[in-house]
Amino acid sequence: MNNAESSTVVSGLAWFKSSYSGAEGGECVEVATGTAAVHVRDSKTVAGPMLTVSREAWAGFVGSASSERRV
């Protein structure tokens, strides 16, 4: 897992918010998928740091998070 510095630019990424994010803003994260990694950032600080994880790690996180929601 890497926490990329804010000065690092990852170009060509399409960022999106969760469909559960409200229109009023608040505390949201945005996600962009790359060929080898998934990038996560704070939607209020788009020029700030981002978290970069492998696609496999992201799939494990999402699988675990979605199974927790069903409980």
Residue 71 lies in a domain: yes
Residue 14 lies in a domain: no
- Report the alpha-carbon distance of residue 49 to residue 36 in Å, rounded: 19
pLDDT of residue 32: 94
3 pLDDT exceeds 90? no
pLDDT of residue 10: 62
Question: How many whole angstroms from its chain centre is CA 61?
Answer: 11
Residue 13 lies in a domain: no
- Provide the number of structural domains found in the chain: 1
Q: How far is CA 47 from CA 42, 60, 61, 66, in A?
A: 9, 27, 24, 28
Q: What is the pLDDT of residues 20-67, one digit of tens each?
A: 776 666 678 899 998 889 999 988 888 889 999 999 999 999 899 887
Helices (H), 3-54: none
pLDDT of residue 5: 38
| Domain enclosing residue 61, as ranges | 1-6+27-71
